Amino acid sequence: MIETNLHDNVLEIVITNPPVNALGADVRCALAAALADAQTNDAVKAIVIRGAGKIFSGGADITEFDGTMAEPGLPELVNMVEACTKPVVAAIHGSVLGGGLEISLGSHYRIAAPDAELGLPEVLLGIVPGAGGTQRLPRLIGAEAALNMIVSGSPVSATKAEKMGLVDRLATDAASLPGEAIAYARTLDAPRRTGERDATVDPAFFEKFLADNAGKKAYLDAQKGCVEAVRAATELPLDEGLVKEAALFTQLVSGEQSKALRHIFFAERKAAKVDGLPKDTQPRSIARVGVIGAGTMGGGISMNFLSAGIPVTIVETQQEALDRGTGIVRKNYEATAAKGRLTPEQVETAMSLLAPTLDFEALSECDLIIEAVYENMDLKKEIFGRLDTIAKPGAILASNTSFLDIDEMAAATKRPQDVLGLHFFSPANIMKLVEVVRGAQTAPDVLATGMAIARRIGKVPVVSGVCYGFIGNRMLNPRLDGAIDMLVEGATPEQVDRVSTELGLPMGPLQMLDLAGVDIGWHRDPTRIESVRDALNAAGRWGQKAKAGFYDYDERRRPAPSPAAAEIIDGFRAQAGVTPREISAEEIAVRTLYVMVNEGAKILEEDIAQRASDIDVVWNYGYGWPRHKGGPMFWADQMGLDKIVDALRRYADRLGPDFSLSPLLVRCAEQGAPLDK
Ligand code: 3H9
């Protein structure tokens, strides 16, 4: 858990708890014992604390937050570090986060390698820093800078930390840090305690900070707690401030928001693991990627690889489409550069890796080829058949389809083991989710490569089996059917969507259809009106792109209730002979949200998703499910599956002839078991 080495009169304590040197109970015990020894050992003049491996420490062990934390607690340990009568130096490299930074703040001096990143990301887990971070950071760098760091949860670089006064000096590099830290410790005569300093600030600052942030959507309980805790640092002596911080921590850690945020933290990491792969599976190496189709998706997909330094061959059938697509890629990069997030050189480097061509044969050089043409099975099968004759042996053939059967595409080749789905979400250069679709014959190393390459380009990959719409889009279907049926029965689009937006989703099902296009899949015959969608399409209300759909849209694509849409819906209802009725928020929740949970449970029992938490990751990163609500499956578990099953049964006659309850959902509800095991 720790190693100690005495270098003449400097005691080096090395935290050795791979993979991230989390400060679990064993580490805390060992650290406390080593510090106590050092205090009484006359041979020790000064102490250096550092981390083994790639980082100093990722902070408290988050898995301990569900129960009571064993003694000594992290706050006590940090107090012990600060109370040490011999100078303590924190030697920081890699990440120093949360409790790791709090140990460093308790230390009397800090030296950091230039690669270090220092942060208090607790807020992202729905808590305030709970081991003195909210009290010592303001005393060290001022309340304003401290609050900004704590409320955002974003780390700062070592160079910035030095400028802020958060570290005293920079080491030459990570390799020389241990030696330089020991040499530094030798020069120190006495402790210098941050807790003994004052954190002063203009009292009006906090009011202004709260007012500035009040309207922010993501302003959660933890952020408010951070303001309160940092304010306490400016008003109270250290010991009283620490009591205040501890009270806020205890309250927040047992709250719904923190539970949900912790769930998503671990869910995201679990999703990266594929069950059932042979242990020795090695991903194939990918040096060049091919993309077929330079449309919005093809261009966006290419940008991910270019940004990661991976060359892309992009193929189109017409020069004009190729030029347009490449032009959009450049424009997107230049827009990012204009915001200062890329240098002009980085834009040119990325563009220099892009090889646009009309020559399909050029794909023969690629190790991974992603087809991103429009959703038509015949076309896709033709492309896969052609690829089979062109691609080099061992190349991975992927489809970016959002719905269609990967196995059918694989069957168009003589190498179905090399085929898989890589479903990117739009805009593909921004959205983090990739559904990695495992076909019936996809080889283990092909699946492993899909997961690895997605991570390499900064995405969050989730494995899905083959079914219509995979995990995410499949769950959209029952909710969209419910939403549209309710319009005919008497609800307004605003009423339907409000139930989703009040939960925290960025938009409701009808706003989402407006964004995607009301006319997707439309037969294009304005005289044939068999649904509300047909009626809207016939009137040219195709959604956001027409500035008119279920809502009216202004220049900035902001929705407003639409009298014209209401008239069309009323007209359709009258023609269908339906008498409108009041529809309750409960019914809307059942028919747009509970049905999604039911579909998610079916996805689980059919082994389309590996685990319930994977479905939550899909909804977080693909559809904007609010992180502090965890994801649809976590949300359902928290609410109680019995309540969901009961409501679905009560409304069963309104859920359409195709609806059936998921046996898994019913079983879990009866047994009081969660979907997320
Ligand atoms: C805190 O400190 C509270 C205190 O203020 C007060 C307390 C009283 N605990 O992310 P990776 C696991 S709150 C337990 O893939 P990377 C992770 O689940 C804490 N486990 O590595 C994974 O497990 P597995 C504030 C943790 O190199 C494995 O380690 N700190 C913890 O890409 C590898 O993780 C944070 O919020 C943890 N703290 O990134 C930092 N951290 O292999 C959270 C990781 O079984 N951590 N694991 O799937 C991170 O941001 C990243 O892990 C880090 C490394 C940047 C450190």
Residue-wise pLDDT for 333-389, tens only, equals: 999 999 999 999 999 999 999 999 999 999 999 999 999 999 999 999 999 999 999
State how far the Cα of 507 lies from the Cα of 515, in Å rounded to an integer.
Answer: 10
Cβ within 8 Å of residue 2, ≥6 positions away:
13, 14, 15, 16, 27, 30, 31, 34
- Nearest alpha-carbon partner for 643 in 668, 667, 669, 662: 669
Amino acid at 593: L
130 CA: nearest ligand 1 atom: 6
Which residue has the least CA distance to atom 23 on ligand 1?
A: 269
Architecture (CATH level 2) of domain 585-671: Orthogonal Bundle (1.10)
Asked if CATH classification 1.10.1040.50 holds for the domain at 491-495+505-576, the reply, yes or no, is: yes
- Domain 289-470: which CATH number of 3.30.230.10, 3.40.50.1370, 3.40.50.720, 3.20.20.70: 3.40.50.720
- CATH 3.90.226.10 in the chain, residue ranges: 2-253
Both tokens assigned to 580: 């409108």
Ligand 1: residues within 6 Å at CB?
19-20, 22, 58-63, 74, 95, 97-99, 102, 121-122, 125, 129-131, 133, 266, 269
Q: Is 90 exceeded by the pLDDT of residue 165?
A: yes
Condensed to tens digits (0 to 9), the pLDDT of residues 480-499 reads 999 999 999 999 999 999 99
For ligand 1, the distance from its centroid to the CA atom of residue 154, given in whole angstroms, is 14
Ligand 1 centre and the CA of 27: distance in Å? 15
Mean pLDDT of 438-443: 98
Distance CA 132, CA 433 (A): 36
To test the ligand 1 pocket, which listed residue (56, 62, 120) has its Cβ within 8 A of the most ligand atoms? 62
Please check whether residue 125 is in contact with residue 95, taking contact to mean a CB–CB distance below 8 angstroms: no
Q: Is the pLDDT of residue 213 over 90?
A: no
What is the average per-residue pLDDT within 506-517? 95
Ligand 1 atom nearest 73 alpha carbon: 8
Q: Which of 82, 102, 180, 587 is catalytic?
A: 102
Asked about 144 being catalytic, the answer comes back as: no
Residues of the chain with CATH 3.40.50.720: 289-470
Q: Is the pTM of this model over 0.85?
A: yes
Percentage of the residues of the chain whose pLDDT score is greater than 90: 95
Pick the catalytic residue: 12, 82, 117, 122?
A: 122
For the chain, the residue count is 677
362: CB partners within 8 A, 6+ apart: 290, 313, 315, 355
Name the band, by pLDDT with cuts 50, 70 and 90, for residue 21: very high
Whether 162 is catalytic is no
The protein residue whose alpha carbon is closest to atom 48 in ligand 1 is 269
Quickly state the pLDDT bin for 218 (edges 50, 70, 90).
low
CATH of domain 2-253: 3.90.226.10
For a pocket test of ligand 1, which of 20, 77, 97, 613 has the largest count of ligand atoms closer than 8 A to its C-beta?
20
CATH 1.10.1040.50 placement within the chain: 491-495+505-576, 585-671
Q: How many CB atoms lie within 10 A of CB 246?
A: 17
Q: Are 612 and 673 in contact, with CB atoms under 8 Å apart?
A: no
Distance 564 CA to ligand 1 centre (A): 52
